[in-house]
A and B are shown apart, each in its own frame.
Chain A
């Protein structure tokens, strides 16, 4: 998330001091990404060092104003002109988790998918509730919320997809005997650890255990 460019965009509309920038940043994005004033000052320091902003005097209460430079405006234009790189985003912890879950023996992958989906849906409900409450004319806030909504929805769809992939894998290759660690217990038939024995050919839900693929 680019605090740097967010601050430049605000300063493009006139000189401002730290607290002001923080308050405006939060109101534009509806406090979705709360900033502390320390982050604002650190970022201003870096922008100053790079010649993108310059100090612009103090008011009577000692607030130091900053204003954007021509170099800063150029940087801001470039930011608006260029698509946001997908590669620069934080690694997707969930994708990594599921990749691990399907390869590490003994993990209940279906349960991982399900609890994640419930969690993501709850977030989606929260965003939607905020959207329902948001003022119709607060376009900036509406757009931020909708971005969160569509991202969460994409995650849910991907989880649905993972689930049907898992179900299909189970149909194609029936679960092998339990883990080697289960020594002496004897092979348990794949279905008996599932209380739903009346599920004929339907994809099995719940425990998916396998030692290897």
Chain B
């Protein structure tokens, strides 16, 4: 058996001290295998973004550890963490984080270029990723020349570019209309079906439903899990007998 693409063990994060202390995440255990799309749902402030930041090595846990493809990233030197992020982990930030001075294609190509890929190769990969999310025609626009939904798709392309094994997406469908949101979910689904693993934070059940498994987080703890699902026909049969 291969190691899970992502494994969280007893993960906790506390912000602040004393009376201002906030336990953002408490003892979270979670594994995501290759081919799996996991959705995380929960009320606002429940710790979803915290969980994702820790999983992506963008923040350091107070307790527990994060393993990516069996390797603990928690203890890695900053430089190595950053390299891992560029190479294996794609991240869609809740607030997008596109670089205003770069075009869509340059934004998407950046992680590859930083990782030593030639500019030409990086640019080709960037165009492919933009195509995948349906905004190839926007390759030469700057972020402030695009709508919120278009920027969001560029941010998703940046997370998908190259051959990322793990995609972490924080409310990636927030600014998208219902049909475009679905198109993005289909892209994520296809990536997972092709062997990647992804964690999707969303408050929309309709989007979470593209996942193999949906977990709930409340007050920093995982409280519920739909389990891995297989086979839909049984449900429709049951529905018919109502």
Total CB contacts across the A-B interface at under 8 A: 84
Residue B206 interfacial (CB < 8 Å):
yes
Q: Judge whether B205 and A126 touch: CB under 8 Å.
A: no
Interface centre among B43, B186, B221, B236 (most CB of A within 10 A): B236
Q: Judge whether A153 and B205 touch: CB under 8 Å.
A: yes
Residue A79 interfacial (CB < 8 Å):
no
Q: Judge whether A202 and B206 touch: CB under 8 Å.
A: no
Q: Smallest CB–CB gap between B32 and chain A, Å?
A: 16
Q: Judge whether A149 and B209 touch: CB under 8 Å.
A: yes
Residue A198 interfacial (CB < 8 Å):
yes
Contacting residues of chain A (151-198) with chain B, CB-CB under 8 angstroms: 152-153, 156-157, 160, 163-164, 196, 198
Q: Judge whether B236 and A125 touch: CB under 8 Å.
A: no
Q: Judge whether A125 and B214 touch: CB under 8 Å.
A: yes
Q: Which of B83-91, B142-150, B164-172, B222-230 contacts A (4 or more CB under 8 A)?
A: B222-230
B189, B205, B212, B218: the one within 8 Å of A121 (CB): B205
A132, A157, A164, A202: the one within 8 Å of B205 (CB): A157
Q: Judge whether B186 and A123 touch: CB under 8 Å.
A: no
Q: Using a Cβ–Cβ cut-off of 8 Å, how many residues does chain B contribute to the interface with A?
A: 31
Q: Judge whether A125 and B211 touch: CB under 8 Å.
A: yes
Task: Give CA–CA (A152, B239) in the complex, Å.
Answer: 13
Q: Judge whether B223 and A205 touch: CB under 8 Å.
A: yes
A32, A117, A150: the one within 8 Å of B240 (CB): A32
Q: Smallest CB–CB gap between B67 and chain A, Å?
A: 26
Query: Which A residues touch B210, using CB under 8 A?
Result: 125, 128, 132
